[in-house]
């Protein structure tokens, strides 16, 4: 579990912390049940083809419109069952019924790589206090209501808590029972008109604010209007017919809206519930460098914003918000909540956060944290979080004119090390189970072919649901992870499944690349583009980390899309060219008083005869800011040009003077 929020010592992750701050809001949102419904009649796990029937039966039994039940389930899980394993918010099944006690008892952690999240040689991060000891697992009754809806639903239905968590049909019935109970508590009639159910839907996610509850309900009703249809993770097919003219009852909307307040500092799209939870810019010690947890700037006036970095928190929501409000810790721009897609903004997007472990990327990026735990592979990401996070990315890319591709919307696992010594400690979130294809579809830029068959460039695009790489180490080192859809493909030294994985000399200078969930050394991910090196039968090879890397790519079930792109190769006469983890200026560009930053090549080289896809061209740049007093800040901009390339799983940089550019298609 090597997400960007490591422990305060940056060596080992903090243990999970329960979301106790939600207790008051959640208790107010979930009124006492006025009566108990009859038990559901589902007997045993449902076959894949019967999930649609389960929604129909549960809706009839609890007098909930089937369309409302389906739309709530879609916004929670996209109707996937996840084999009864919990989400990042401790939610289970298609209806995402929460049992945080059980989820936390089963959760595991894994080592975090040692790195400096600021990633600036001129101002290294200070040592931080050791992490607090793990607290005892709280009793179920001590949890906020929003963290134990599965327990409440079991009582309403008469089903066992285990069955509510693990049996899809029982889970759907229990979700219907919760909706019906809240509809009664609100004094609204049970009935078939979906417009009457807005208030109950708004309460379903257990949000801690009326604006977040209303935003969740708005998304559910948008789904009702547009309709949805998909094959779920267990092979069944579920359909929700569109109701384009549907609008909820105005009185219920008004009752749940947050009262109008003063001007907000948030920079968010209007479709998400967004609150201001500031990261403090404070001096906390006598040294001028004792400040945190970000730097004040004025982007894009000072410099362009070229990247959005997607993280997962490796912490619960409450713990994450506590950390970002600590000036001795780290700072990022936004956090997105799992349960309802609520967004907290922590600093102005013009400012520079400390989140990516590479100062060049930090100074040119916006960081978005998504509540989640990488090393619990079936601690899955909810649809509410995916949709809010994607809406935020769409808003930011439009505002800052950031290209909507995988060399500019990157995971923390795509950020390069700054020098050879930092490569092995770079982080690996959001990891191989983040659904990049779905995310880009929600952003409004679905992946598609841009060239004909046998193109010289390919976009990685395996079918997420069916692509289940044999990763290990999710719970126990070396032990197989549970089968799980993934955006990642494995890369081998020859076109067969038994060939060794390709070598990453930065991660494994003396050993071999592994299939560990946190080993990115032989991995390519959905949306990334590479130059084709060879083809042989059902196998394709790409240029990757200076070598030929093979993966299975059969024509009847391709894992790639043919693409056009710009590629670079070493300039004629050069046997190889150096590769860099940052695009810093030449020494002559630094003014007096600003120490020259060494531009040290990484341990990799780009050999002659190989091609790599270009993400963009940029002049060298360095943001000098090492003290609380901003008067000494400087943006150093050089004349030497760089190309950003997709080099391995991570991006990298080469000097424009070292390469030539070609158009491939």
Tens of pLDDT, residue by residue over 81-97, are 998 988 888 899 999 99
CA 177 to the chain's CA centroid: 31
> Among residues of the chain, what percentage have pLDDT more than 90?
74
CA dist., res. 411 & res. 385, Å (int):
16
Q: What is the pLDDT of residues 25-47, one digit of tens each?
A: 332 222 222 233 333 333 334 44
Provide the b/e sequence for 243-262 (b: ≥16 CB within 10 Å).
beeeebeeebbeebeeeeee
pLDDT, the chain, mean? 87
Average pLDDT over residues 485-495: 97
Q: Is 97 helix (H, G, I), strand (E, B) or coil?
A: strand
Query: Does residue 541 have a pLDDT over 80?
Result: yes
Residues 6+ apart with CB under 8 A from 193: 65
The DSSP code sequence of 105-128 is HH----------SS--TTSPPPP-
Q: What is the pLDDT of residue 90?
A: 86
Average pLDDT over residues 374-382: 67
Lowest mean pLDDT among 67-76, 126-135, 207-216, 629-638: 126-135
Residues 6+ apart with CB under 8 A from 228: 70, 71, 74, 78, 239, 240
pTM: 0.91
Query: Does residue 656 have a pLDDT over 50?
Result: yes
CA 10 to the chain's CA centroid: 20
CA dist., res. 437 & res. 606, Å (int):
29
CA dist., res. 618 & res. 187, Å (int):
60
Residue 190 has φ and ψ, to the nearest 5°, of -70, 145
Name which residue leads in pLDDT, 625 or 380: 625
């Amino acid at each position: 579990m090597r997400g960007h929020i490591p422990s305060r010592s940056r060596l080992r992750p903090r243990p999970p912390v329960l979301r106790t701050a939600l207790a008051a809001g959640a208790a107010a949102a979930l009124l006492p049940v006025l009566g108990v419904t009859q038990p559901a009649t589902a007997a045993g796990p449902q076959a894949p083809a019967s999930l649609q029937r389960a929604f129909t039966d549960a809706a009839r039994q609890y007098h909930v419109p089937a369309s409302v039940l389906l739309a709530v389930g879609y916004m929670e899980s996209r109707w996937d069952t996840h084999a009864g394993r919990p989400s990042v918010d401790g939610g289970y099944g298609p209806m995402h019924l929460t049992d945080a006690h059980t989820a936390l008892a089963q959760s595991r952690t894994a080592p975090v790589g040692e790195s400096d999240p600021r990633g600036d040689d001129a101002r290294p991060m200070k040592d931080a206090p050791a992490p607090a000891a793990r607290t005892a697992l709280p009793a179920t009754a001590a949890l906020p209501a929003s963290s134990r809806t599965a327990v409440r639903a079991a009582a309403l239905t008469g089903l066992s808590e285990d069955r509510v968590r693990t049996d899809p049909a029982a889970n759907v019935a229990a979700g219907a029972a919760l909706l019906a109970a809240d509809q009664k508590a609100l004094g609204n009639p049970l009935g078939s008109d979906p417009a009457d159910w807005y208030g109950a839907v708004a309460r379903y996610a257990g949000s801690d604010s009326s604006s977040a509850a209303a935003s969740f309900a708005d998304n559910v009703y948008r789904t009702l209007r547009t309709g949805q249809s998909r094959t779920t993770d267990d092979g069944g097919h579920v359909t929700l017919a569109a109701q384009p003219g549907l609008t909820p009852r105005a009185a219920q909307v008004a009752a749940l809206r947050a009262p109008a307040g003063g001007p907000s500092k948030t920079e968010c799209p209007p479709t998400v519930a967004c609150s201001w939870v500031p990261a403090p810019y404070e001096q906390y010690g006598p040294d001028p460098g004792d400040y945190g947890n970000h730097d004040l700037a004025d982007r894009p006036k000072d410099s362009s914003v070229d990247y959005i970095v997607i993280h997962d928190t490796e912490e619960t929501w409450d713990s994450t918000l506590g950390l970002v409000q600590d000036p001795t810790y780290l700072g990022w721009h936004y956090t997105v909540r799992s349960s309802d897609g609520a967004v907290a903004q922590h600093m102005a997007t013009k400012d520079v956060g400390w989140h990516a472990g590479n100062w060049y990327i930090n100074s040119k990026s916006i960081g978005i944290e998504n509540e989640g735990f990488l090393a619990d592979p079936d601690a899955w990401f909810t649809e509410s979080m995916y949709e809010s996070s994607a809406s935020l990315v769409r808003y930011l890319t439009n505002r800052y004119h950031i290209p909507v591709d995988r060399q500019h919307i990157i995971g923390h696992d795509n950020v390069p090390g700054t020098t050879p010594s930092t490569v092995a400690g770079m982080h690996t979130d959001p990891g191989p189970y983040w659904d990049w294809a779905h995310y880009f579809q929600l952003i409004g830029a679905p992946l598609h072919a841009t060239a004909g068959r046998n193109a010289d460039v390919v976009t990685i695009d395996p079918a997420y649901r069916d692509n289940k790489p044999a990763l290990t180490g999710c719970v126990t080192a070396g032990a197989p992870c549970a089968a799980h859809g993934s955006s990642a493909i494995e890369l081998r030294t020859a076109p067969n499944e038994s060939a060794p994985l390709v070598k990453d000399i930065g991660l494994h200078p003396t050993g071999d690349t592994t299939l560990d969930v946190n080993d990115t050394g032989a991995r390519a991910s959905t949306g990334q583009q590479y130059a084709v090196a060879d083809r042989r039968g059902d196998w394709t090879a790409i240029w990757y980390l200076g070598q030929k890397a093979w993966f299975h790519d059969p024509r009847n079930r391709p894992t790639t899309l043919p693409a056009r792109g710009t590629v670079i190769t070493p300039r004629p006469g050069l046997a190889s060219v150096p590769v860099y983890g940052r695009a810093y200026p030449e020494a002559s560009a630094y003014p007096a008083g600003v120490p020259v930053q060494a531009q040290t090549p990484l341990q990799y080289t780009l050999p002659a005869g190989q091609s790599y896809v270009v993400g963009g061209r940029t002049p060298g740049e360095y943001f000098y800011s090492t003290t609380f007093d901003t008067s000494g800040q400087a943006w150093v901009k050089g004349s030497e040009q760089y190309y950003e390339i997709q080099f391995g799983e991570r991006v990298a940089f080469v000097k424009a003077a070292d390469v030539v550019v070609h158009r491939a298609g």
